[in-house]
Amino acid sequence: RDYTQSGAELQGGSLAPSVYEQYAAANSFNGDINTILMDGGGNDILIPATLFDPYGCRTQWYRWNPSRSCRNLIEDQRINAVNLLNQMDADGVANVVWLGYYELPRGNANLTKALNIGNNKLRSACQSDSVASCQFVDPRGTVPASQVESDDIHPTPEGSVNLAGQIEPVLFPLL
């Protein structure tokens, strides 16, 4: 079953139903969910950062690191991820495989530090902060710029195959 929608944020957002809402829809349709493959958290940083960067997630010549506001936004997403994972565990989900985000090239390369902080927080949410059985797939350093669309965010078909190849050895033993 596929309940994913592009443009979703973990919780809230206006472009698509949140990951929380997508999970709730899947669970209400059939609560017998054994394994979930997901991503999440990237849009929570990328959507505001690519529009106006109100949280200061982009690094600049005058700010070499993401702002405190950005780090707080990322911490909020870690808490949302932990709560979602704990809910999945309480609902009987046996396995979660969470795909992290790769470094963005070219015009979005100045979001790398924020995405690295986010990936580290999501890894922690997945592997130690929640009670869920969760495995984090970290694609950093494995997706070259040639496998990212000209929007400097989304993977090309080749990039998607690359990511699927990283997910497969983690996911297939759980099925």
Q: In percent, how much of the chain has pLDDT > 70? A: 100
Residue 152 lies in a domain: yes
Question: Domain range for residue 62?
Answer: 32-174
Nearest Cα to Cα of residue 58 among 120, 115, 11, 15: 115
pLDDT tens digits, 20-30: 999 999 999 99
H-state helical runs in the chain: 19-29, 42-51, 68-90, 112-124, 157-171
CATH number reported for the structural domain that contains residue 105 in this entry: 3.40.50.1110
Mean predicted lDDT score pLDDT of the chain: 95
Whether residue 60 is contained in a domain is answered as yes
pLDDT of residue 3 exceeding 90: no
Spatial distance between the Cα atoms of 132 and 57, rounded to a whole number of angstroms = 29
Residue 78 lies in a domain: yes
Is residue 138 in a domain? yes
Looking at the domain assignment, is residue 164 inside a domain?
Answer: yes
pLDDT in tens, 26-47: 999 999 999 999 999 999 999 9
| Structure confidence at residue 12 as a pLDDT band (50, 70, 90) | confident
Radius of gyration (Cα) for the chain, nearest Å? 16
Cross-sheet strand order for the sheet of 134-137 = 35-39, 95-99, 134-137
**Counted domains in the chain:** 1
Cα angle for residues 45, 101, 81 (degrees, 5° grid): 65
